[in-house]
Amino acid sequence: AKLKSFAAKIIQLLKEWTETFPYDFQDEKSMKELKEIAHRITQYDEENGTVKKIISQMTQNLLMALSARSQYQEIREKFRQPVTDKGTILKTKPQSTQKDILGVCCDPLILAQQLTYIELERVSNIYPEDLMQIVSHMDSLDNHKCRGDVTKTYNLEAYDNWFNCLSMLVATEICRVVKKKQRTRMVEFFIDVARECFNIGNFNSMMAII
């Protein structure tokens, strides 16, 4: 009876651990240890198989979480291009084919909503372990500089890079306009977009635009 009670507590611990910090089980060694512990626990509940079902579901959810985050990383890497390449593409395009942001979306509310969707997508991929990785790699209290671990904190870096990209997009869209009247219109448009972001509650995009 004591072993069954202890097994239930271990299952709860493993369940919360795998859901909150799935990256702890990314390497083969930790995954092997998890399977060994799970196997030993299931031996105490061979009669009805309830524990085995819970362990199986937990393992399946863990593998799905690791797979999803791995796919997200691969997709993000595909869209990452050197800055020089982007500049070259922009220069080679004829001026007539280079659309400004108003030619793509002239409604500040719609653009603010789309920016919010991007923000939510970036935030949804940030997990507690990403924050813990930053804390665990803090230097001395004198300088508070972080030694970023790319393999562990790429979700935070992606969110930070998005902020910088949006800021550069706004600056580029304003500066590339030649006529003062059109440039003024572009500035006013982004002010309206920032206001709509504020109304939605998307303060990160609002600050990036500002």
pLDDT at 186 over 90: yes
> Tokens standing for 83?
């800055």
Which tens digits make up the pLDDT trace of 104-136?
A: 888 999 999 999 999 998 888 777 777 777 776
Asked whether the beta carbons of 118 and 158 are under 8 A apart, the reply is no
pLDDT at 148 over 60: no
pLDDT at 140 over 50: no
Q: At what angle do helices 28-42 and 2-20 cross, to 10 degrees?
A: 150
